[in-house]
Amino acid sequence: MSLEQLETVVAIAEEGALVRAARRLHISQPPLTRRLQALEHELGTVLFERLPRGMRPTPAGERVVAEARQILAAVDRLRTHVEDP
């Protein structure tokens, strides 16, 4: 599991669609899809329901998104502490 994958699930959850999440992360949609699929494979569960117009986190996805937000916030705090002693 990588920080990129965690950023990916948060972006998809917040944007509600792969295309918008990809745009937000400044990458194209196919690599974003591969990141999500790799994480789902690693965790052994589906994280998002694919809807006709967008995506919605599954219950497992909601838990992953919540944890991912906490992890990314902790990383940001760490970077801030290192940059501003």
CATH number at residue 31: 1.10.10.10
pLDDT at 85 over 70: no
The confidence score (pLDDT) of residue 80 equals 86
Q: What angle do CA 22, 25, 28 make, to 5 degrees?
A: 40
Q: What percent of the chain has pLDDT over 70?
A: 98
Average pLDDT over residues 14-37: 96
pLDDT at 79 over 90: no
CA dist 57 and 50 (Å) reads 9
Whole-Å CA distances, 6 to 10, 18, 64, 65, 84: 6, 14, 8, 8, 25
For residue range 39-71, list pLDDT tens digits in order: 999 999 999 999 998 999 999 999 999 999 999
How many structural domains comprise the chain? 1
Q: Model-level pTM?
A: 0.90
Q: Which domain holds residue 65?
A: 3-83
